[in-house]
Structure 1
């Protein structure tokens, strides 16, 4: 149990919530369980997160943001050419998703349930990822490496995201450890890059 002398803040609550979800799963985890893990009253948790739904959305967003932050660095770099950056970004997304599914399967399963509940959080995450892809595509068009579909880099970025869906959508997680998946991923990325060439 956490010391009650430590300042209670949103980050501590989210960390505790993640542990409670790992232990109990999304169906059984309650705000009372989170409060108990922190050594505080459930009212103290509600002062930071007004509802159970708000708490679950916040913990889902925190989980998704871990991936987004890593990818933002790749999308924003000027150290790589756009084709190299795109391959790097797609590879990092696939690696991050596989790691989440493989390293902590209980929590991954829990978040898969939460993703279904937190549609606005998921949509914001997807929009952010597509925005990062758009950064890479737009720069590629400016530098003469890529051509965008109908001159629209945002629509092209969305098409790339959709075309690589098998390698980042949690519903395909059961396929991510199958033999040959890396080769299949590499083939799809090479095809995408070939299609983008000016």
Structure 2
């Protein structure tokens, strides 16, 4: 009887994990597609809602739009690539569920004025964005940046236990505002 009980618990646990990882994969694809298509409303819909306690949703939307569309010095265009998601272990920490997702990402920055020192600019993006593949296109006066991005998937009471996402900021300030040191440490951030 004990053996049947343990098998049942193992089966239920496996089913719950499978459903959780499948829903995570679906949502991660939606988030990636929204970013690649620059669908700002969908991006915000899939964003971890506690971020909006730091910055109101409409303000964040304007900042994102200005970053991509409203800058007189350059335009940024996301390039759709095969994301090749790499999902970490799903972890439950202090009543929240997390997964760190690494994926391929690419963007092109087209500059209004001619870049005088392309090597300096590509080196700057390599270091600031931690990107190994940064190339200058003289004809388009653009920089193509290919990198591995990191998203943090979060499901908790504030999301009705549905997966939502945050992009991991390189300096960790956003993570510090939203999550405890314990969470950051357990996620390796």
TM-score w.r.t. length of structure 1:
0.24
TM-score w.r.t. length of structure 2:
0.25
In proportion to residue count, which structure has more strand?
2
In proportion to residue count, which structure has more helix?
1
